Chains A and B, each alone.
Chain A
């Protein structure tokens, strides 16, 4: 587990103590640094701004109500992200239930190996390329197209930069599972983007023409 520095830890436990006593101001000071992470996590799962905001807000209110359950075994941010993931998942389940009634989502095999599909040489895309709208959109589409459980891990690890341990805690899964899912997410993302890489990410050309359909 990534340890908080002693002074930060004291600060956090003081605020938790005050929040437990019902101090909303103290609670908000705990929440504020993770606000963006909460929204991003919910957005990554729900792919819709309004739903993501609602899930993030509900997670925060739920955290406030349940602050007495917070044990300092993990950081406050990991704990509240965990609640937010559950809220977002709940929303997805509700929406699906509404759409398909009793059809349960089939559990995808977790451990089947994923083999890369594209072996073409990769021309590196510098991060400055992200200023181009088509690349940002392609990236967003590729992430959105990942199955939920891979997307969750990718968002926590590669976008929010949580450690393996924190990701495991937030998702309530083992470290081994985090690594397996992350591997799959990354390889699939690469495959989804690879066909657009071989020189087709230049301006002025239809960037999506060579990108695999999502």
Chain B
């Protein structure tokens, strides 16, 4: 089957859905064919994927000391 070509612009629009595995198989195949031929889009894909992973692994907003207790106290006092 011949894969219909897709432009960089169309790839960028779907790159986040692609990372989330949320694109139709046909579009996925077209994007994969594009990535094989386009270094720019591959760089964007790799970087975006890496950023998503880093954010997921490394961005934690630790609650301050005593947060849980203060919250519990406020519920109790309500």
Contact = CB atoms under 8 A, between A and B. Distances in A.
A125 B52 CA distance: 11
B61 A39 contact: yes
A7 interface: no
Contacts, number: 125
B54 A139 contact: yes
Interface string B26-58: 000000000000011001101110111111111
Interface in B42-78: 43-44, 46-48, 50-61, 63-64, 67-68, 70-72, 74-76, 78
A11 interface: no
Contact of B44 (A44, A159, A190): A190
B58 to A, nearest CB: 4
B50 A124 contact: yes
Interface residues of A, number: 54
B63 A130 contact: no
A57 B9 contact: no
A119 B40 CA distance: 5
A118 to B, nearest CB: 8
Nearest to B74: A57
A141 to B, nearest CB: 11
Interface size for chain B: under 10, 10 to 19, 20 to 34, or 35 or more residues? 35 or more
SS class of chain A's interface: helix, strand, loop or mixed? Answer: helix
Nearest to B14: A183
Contacts of B12: 113-116, 187
A60 B61 contact: no
Contacts of B48: 186-187, 190
A183 B43 CA distance: 16
A130 B63 CA distance: 19
Interface of A: 24, 27-28, 31-32, 35-36, 39-40, 43-44, 49, 52-53, 56-57, 60-61, 64-65, 113-116, 118-122, 124-125, 127, 129-130, 135-136, 139-140, 143, 154, 158-159, 161, 164, 179, 182-183, 186-187, 189-190, 193-194, 197
Given A57-B70, A64-B75, A161-B56, 12 more contacts: A56-B67, A125-B50, A127-B57, A130-B58, A140-B59, A158-B56, A182-B16, A183-B13, A189-B55, A193-B47, A193-B51, A194-B47
